Structure 1
Amino acid sequence: MDMKKRLSLELRHRSPSEVKELVLDNCRSSEGKIEGITEEFANLERLSLINVGLTSVAELPKLQKLKKLELSDNRISGGLEVLAERLVNLTHLNLSGNKFKDISTLEPLKKLPQLKSLDLFNCEVTNLADYKESIFKLLPQLTYLDGYDIDDCEASDSEGDGVEDEDEGLGQDFRLIILRVTVGPFHLY
């Protein structure tokens, strides 16, 4: 299915301004470009374009509220200046499985002050000596690279991927009680 048709189906008779999350994974992009996504998606917070055949992000519109962008498993090798210019509030970016070969292609991401999490799994750049240290030095605003912080501590779901846990606001006591009830039949607290 092509990207424009999939976009039409995903809208489900809503206006673009009503959409907060848009998943267009595995549809086909003609000519390797983003199609159909316009500035009308003004309230979009999450956009997923995994494995759609992208070679460029040049057609990405200005999306002020976008926080999470999934671009893994495409053929993007550069042109990230567009992200810095048009996605000023981006906090999570997944570029895994793309064609980034050297650190200099990631330099435009310095202009994304809110960027906290970057994923580059299966990109050639990860094979470079001192890859992790070089990226954290280039992008000091980052908290997580490939799901780990600078001290190699793994990100929790809520920190690393931008998806809030459903029980996040319930507090430790609630989770602890559930654990005690389900762990042992003799602990009924």
Structure 2
Amino acid sequence: MFRPPSLLPLVKELVLDNCRSIEGKIEGLTDEFEELEFLSTINVGLTSISNLPKLNKLKKLELSENRISGDLEVLAEKCPNLKHLNLSGNKIKDLSTIEPLKKLENLKSLDLFNCEVTNLNAYRENVFKLLPQVMYLDGYDRDNKEAPDSDVEGYVEDDDEEDEDEEEYDEYAQLVEDEEEEDEEEEGEEEDVSGEEEEDEEGYNDGEVDDEEDEEDAAEEEGSQKRKREPDDEGEEDD
């Protein structure tokens, strides 16, 4: 029986918000999503992420409005390239719960809105000290400056992509301009050559006309000389 090839390895974004998880598992969410970069599982009833499949290319993970209280150490193993993590509205109460996130070396943005841990004294200072790789906590940096975008990592990546697109566009535009200049030069050379050919043809035709005129003049001159000699010859005969 023919079985069509799976398209799961081609998926890069997956939103499963408000789905129901069973014993910490979401049906259909497997490690077949090899290219997955963004996963959203908001309000799906998760109490743990220990059953999360291995997603090596995952960069953004939305886990807000669940009941997660620990087991965050599995993220370093299953999502080693994670850059943005949203744990808002979960059951995280102390800093020791998020300490395992130190192993996520690429983590740049962390959200803990509405978690009990945010009520601790010097919460922000301690989180930045505990996780020095994090640039934005709850949408603000160390100096309490708001992130350029609510999705910080998305903002950074979009800027990089725009720069790359602009560079590619500039290269393409320059290439097109160079090709147009080459075409114009070739057309100019063709026009010059055709102009020379026309001049040669005109010169050649003029030469033919001149030769014909010379022949006619020579014939007329010869005829006049004959007419001059004929009377003289007749006078000689009379003598």
- Same fold by TM (over 0.5)? yes
CA distance in 2, matches of 1:91, 1:19: 19
Aligned residue in 2 for 1:71? 63
CA distance in 1, matches of 2:31, 2:151: 27
Q: Secondary structure at the match of 2:61?
A: strand
CA distance in 2, matches of 1:38, 1:32: 13
Choose from 126, 130, 135 the match for 1:138.
130
Aligned Cα RMSD in Å? 2.1
CA distance in 2, matches of 1:32, 1:86: 15
Q: Give CA deviations for 1:23-55 in whole Å, capped at 9, x if unaligned.
A: 000111123434322111010000000011100
Q: Give CA deviations for 1:159-188 in whole Å, capped at 9, x if unaligned.
A: 6152555994488xxxxxxxxxxxxxxxxx
Q: Is the 8 A contact 1:16 1:41 kept in 2?
A: yes
Count of residue pairs the alignment pairs up: 159
Structure 2 regions of 5+ residues with no counterpart? 167-239
Cα distance change, pair 34–103 in 1 and its aligned pair in 2 (3 A):
farther
Instruction: Point out the structure with max Rg over C-alpha.
Output: 2
CA distance in 2, matches of 1:95, 1:161: 15
Q: Is the 8 A contact 1:45 1:67 kept in 2?
A: yes
Q: Does 1:115 align with 2:107?
A: yes
Aligned residue in 2 for 1:33? 25
Q: Secondary structure at the match of 2:31?
A: coil
The one-letter code sitting in structure 2 at the alignment partner of 1:89 is N
Q: Is the 8 A contact 1:157 1:165 kept in 2?
A: no
Q: Does 1:15 align with 2:7?
A: yes
The one-letter code sitting in structure 1 at the alignment partner of 2:53 is P
The one-letter code sitting in structure 2 at the alignment partner of 1:105 is T
The one-letter code sitting in structure 1 at the alignment partner of 2:106 is Q
Q: Does 1:90 align with 2:121?
A: no
Structure with more relative contact order (C-alpha pairs < 8 Å, separation 6 or more)? 1
Residue 16 of structure 1, CA deviation: 1.0
CA distance in 2, matches of 1:109, 1:133: 16
Give the helix-richer structure, 1 or 2.
2
Structure 1 regions of 5+ residues with no counterpart? 1-12, 172-189
Q: Give CA deviations for 1:126-162 in whole Å, capped at 9, x if unaligned.
A: 0000110110001000000000000001111286152
Q: Is the 8 A contact 1:158 1:165 kept in 2?
A: no
CA distance in 2, matches of 1:34, 1:161: 25
Map 1:36-55 to 2 at 5 A. Answer: 36-55=28-47
Moved over 4 A (4+): 163-171
The one-letter code sitting in structure 2 at the alignment partner of 1:20 is K
Q: Is the 8 A contact 1:34 1:57 kept in 2?
A: no
CA distance in 2, matches of 1:65, 1:158: 22
Structure-2-length-normalised TM-score:
0.62
CA distance in 1, matches of 2:53, 2:101: 17
